[in-house]
Amino acid sequence: MGLGLIIGLFSGYHRTVDAIVMRIMDGLMAIPSILLAIALMALVSASVQNVIIALTVPEIPRVVRVVRSVVLSLREQAYIEASRANGAALPRILLRHIMPNTLAPLIVQGTYICASAVIVEAYLSFLGAGTPPEIASWGNIMAEGRAYIQIAFWIILFPGLFLAMTVLAINMIGDGLRDTLDPKLARRM
């Protein structure tokens, strides 16, 4: 999220950078995240750090787009123009005025990314392209249990249910944060 935040801030503020960066991000978003993660894992050995990288790279364009959209709407605001007129440097404008306004949507996007990462890691581990088999993960547990599904179906059932409940809980936290951080919803209550 940090890398996406930095890229999104500069991309949304500079129109020339925006044209180039967004074409790259569109190209990355054209590839489904699970396929990109599998391709990245095929290039490197199975380890936790490589799985984290494979989960992170497909999500960067989504963060960049969220931050960029907020920056595009904020850079024309009167207080940004007043800050520019007072001679504030670009890093000060981005860090002091624009970045704090991107944090609420970014936190909500972070919960979506977290839920997506949990599912993609389980996919990768189930397919044998994720974490090594000696590391416990729901994907590894289900992959080992598929040989025994005729005898003991619960070996796959319970990890799958816990995976689904975890993703649901993360998404519910994201919905709660969206409701809490959205000023339009706060005015209605």
* Mean of pLDDT over the chain: 89
For residue 61, give the nearest of 11, 123, 98, 105 by alpha carbon: 11
Rounded average pLDDT over 33-57: 89
Q: Residue 100 phi/psi, 5° resolution?
A: -60, -30
CA distances to 38, 72, 79, 133 from 75, rounded to whole Å, are: 38, 6, 9, 49
> Could you tell me the pLDDT band of residue 30, with boundaries at 50, 70 and 90?
very high
Which residue range is the domain that position 130 belongs to?
A: 2-188
Inter-residue contact 143 to 126 (CB < 8 Å): yes
**Residue 15: its pLDDT value, please?**
85
DSSP E strand stretches across the chain: none
Predicted confidence band at 186 (pLDDT cuts at 50, 70, 90)? low
The total number of residues written for the chain in this structure: 189
Helix axis angle for 60-74 and 99-127, nearest 10°, is: 170
**Where residue 147 sits, what CATH number does that domain have?**
1.10.3720.10
* Mean pLDDT, residues 82-111 taken together: 88
pLDDT one-digit tens code per residue, 87-96: 888 888 888 8
**One-character DSSP codes across 11-37:** HHH-HHHHHHHHHHHHHHHHS-HHHHH
Residue 131 pLDDT:
87
d(CA 111, CA 129): 24
Q: How far is CA 115 from the centre of its chain?
A: 9
pLDDT at 183: 64
Stated pTM of the model: 0.82
SS3 46: coil
- CA atoms of 92 and 103, how far apart (whole Å): 16
From CA 38, how far away is CA 7, in angstroms rounded?
Answer: 24
- Tally of structural domains, the chain: 1
Residues in contact with 146: Cβ distance below 8 Å, sequence separation at least 6, in sequence order: 156
pLDDT at 113: 93
